[in-house]
Chains A and B, each alone.
Chain A
Amino acid sequence: MALTDRSDAELLIQFRNETTKESAFTSIIKKYQERLYWHIRRMVVDHDDANDVLQNVFIRVWNGLGNFREDAQLYTWLYRIATNESLTFLEQRKKRSAVSLSDVESGLSNKIKADKHFDANKLEWKLQLAIQQLPEKQKLVFLLRYYDEMPYEEMSRTLETSEGALKASYHHAVKKIEDYIKNH
């Protein structure tokens, strides 16, 4: 059985065993790194920033997985860490440069435009620009639902928000993005 085929429960048991801790940690990274990376990258845009945040996430996983209470899915827990680390990163960037969060968002838009493959005429790039116009929480909801197709129940546990509020937020986000794409 490939390492990544092991269930989360098995991986947790092996992580808590000193002899298999390292291999379990490796498996967890291989299983979730791409999904977590793209979740982070959609928030912070830049690859180097996403790389920094991703590594911080896995360091926290290494330190905290032993105490993981399993009252939520491992995936939910990982996503929560990745979300918090991304938001913390953006917050620190805001403080370092003494700019408002909206300026951080416009900075992210500029980073999108600075990508060597950027093409303003392509819908995929317009979508990325549109996403950066959303407020922080709404952006998160949209990304988790649209790209990761996360069920509202799981999203509610990840973001600690009611399902109804998440649905409303997602619907509003879709409307805003649609309007942005039509007008640009």
Chain B
Amino acid sequence: MNHRNTINDELKSLNSGLPVGGAEMPYSVPDGYFDGIAAAVMARIKSSTLSAAEEIAQLSPLLAGISRTMPYSVPDQYFSDNLESLYAVVAEEPELSLPGTAGKAMPYTLPEGYFEGLGSQVIQRVEEKPTARVVPMAGRRWMRWAAAAMIGGVMAISGIAYFNQKPKQADVPVSSPQWVATKLNNVSDKEIDEFVRAADVTASSSVKAGHSAKISEVKQLLKGVSQKDLDAFLDQVPEDEELAIN
């Protein structure tokens, strides 16, 4: 009980959601299980020490009473003849050989005097052996030069291609002539003509509007100036400036 209280106090201190006061197992146990388990274990211990005959007598008197003699028939002299037939089968096996009979003799044949003459044949072949052909390393110098030239050519072409490449659009400042030219590459001539025409109309309109605004301003400024004074001024101004003023 004290132990249970300690556990409950501990659960409370931890603010645990676990049930306080003893957890109950949700499993069920067959009736009388614990009462009979001791006897079951003892029976099992005893059965482990039983002989096969005692065991079957305990398990099934019916089976224990049946004769163990097999009802199958066996050909006469089977077991005594088995040895001979077994040897016949064993002898037929190519990988088997009974000791003292076939031995380990190889079935292959050799030319007469093979081993006697083998040594002299080998020596003869060794003496007649031509010297190895010497391949001069200089003969391969042209290959080295060719390889070097090829590598150098590849590098040169790569370098030229790298430095001559057009700048990327990202490197060209926007509205720069190069940028405009790049953009105009994608615009057709017809579209350009239309744009120019529209731009001329717009531009002449704005010039005219600007021109009329200037005249009214001049008139406002010359409001108190007489015509006589104006003519006298104009006589003094050169023709070019006069045109510019007008």
Measuring CB to CB, which residues of chain A are less than 8 angstroms from any residue of chain B?
18-19, 21-22, 26, 29-30, 33-34, 37-38, 41-42, 45, 47, 51, 54-55, 58-59, 62-63, 115-119, 122-125, 127-128, 145-147, 149-152, 163, 167, 171, 174-175, 177-178, 181-182
- Taken together as a complex, chains A and B put the C-alpha atoms of A163 and B45 apart, in Å, by 13
Whether the Cβ atoms of A124 and B96 lie closer than 8 Å is: no
Q: Which of B78-100 contact A (CB under 8 A)?
A: 78-79, 82-83, 85-86, 89-90, 93, 96, 98-100
Which residues does chain B contribute within 8 Å of A21, judged by CB atoms?
99
Q: How far is the CA of A145 from the CA of B50 in the complex (A)?
A: 12
- Cα distance, A97 to B70, chains bound together (Å): 28
| CA distance in complex: A42, B74 (Å) | 13
Q: A178, B71: Cβ atoms under 8 Å? A: no
21 residue pairs of the A-B complex, CB under 8 angstroms, read: A19-B99, A21-B99, A22-B98, A29-B86, A30-B83, A41-B70, A41-B72, A45-B72, A47-B73, A55-B85, A58-B86, A59-B89, A115-B73, A117-B72, A119-B71, A123-B66, A145-B56, A163-B48, A171-B59, A174-B60, A177-B63
Binary per-residue interface labels of chain B (41-80) against chain A in the complex, 1 for a CB within 8 Å, 0 otherwise: 0000001100111011001101100111111111100110
Q: How many angstroms from the CA of A59 to the CA of B93 in the assembled complex?
A: 9
What does DSSP make chain A's interface, helix, strand, loop or mixed? helix
Whether A18 lies near B89 (C-beta < 8 A) is: no
- Chain A residue with minimal CB distance to B68? A147
Taking the nearest CB of chain A, how far is it from the CB of B167, in angstroms?
A: 77
User: In the complex the two chains form, what is the Cα distance from A97 to B208 in whole Å?
Assistant: 110
Known: A174-B56, A174-B60. A62 touches B96 (CB 8 A): yes
Q: Are B48 and A149 in contact (CB under 8 A)?
A: no
Task: Give Cα A155 to B86, complex, Å.
Answer: 28
Query: Nearest 9 A-B pairs (CB), nearest first?
Result: A149-B52, A124-B71, A174-B59, A123-B66, A174-B60, A178-B60, A21-B99, A18-B99, A55-B89
Q: Quote the shortest CB–CB distance from A141 to chain B (angstroms).
A: 12
Complex Cα–Cα for A128 and B71 (A) = 9
CA distance A62 to B96 in the complex (A): 9
B interface residues (Cβ-Cβ under 8 A, vs A): 47-48, 51-53, 55-56, 59-60, 62-63, 66-75, 78-79, 82-83, 85-86, 89-90, 93, 96, 98-100
A-side contacts of B73, CB under 8 Å: 47, 115-117
B42: min CB distance to chain A, Å: 15
**Neighbouring B residues of A149 by C-beta, 8 Å:** 51-53
- Residues in chain B near residue A119, CB distance under 8 A: 71
A124 touches B66 (CB 8 A): yes
Q: How far is the CB of A82 from chain B (nearest CB, A)?
A: 14
Chain A proximity of B86: nearest CB distance (Å): 6
| Beyond known contacts A19-B99, A41-B70, A55-B85: 20 more, CB 8 A cutoff | A18-B99, A18-B100, A22-B100, A29-B83, A41-B72, A45-B72, A47-B78, A54-B82, A58-B86, A63-B96, A116-B73, A117-B73, A145-B55, A145-B56, A147-B68, A149-B51, A151-B52, A167-B48, A174-B59, A178-B60
In the complex the two chains form, is A47's CB within 8 Å of B72's CB? yes
Q: How far is the CB of A24 from chain B (nearest CB, A)?
A: 11
Q: Quick check: B86 and A178 within 8 Å, CB to CB?
A: no
Contacts of A174 in B (CB 8 A): 56, 59-60, 63
Which residues of the other chain, B, contact A62 by a CB distance below 8 angstroms? 90, 96
Whether A47 pairs with B83 at a CB distance below 8 angstroms is: no
List of B residues within 8 angstroms of A118 by Cβ: 71
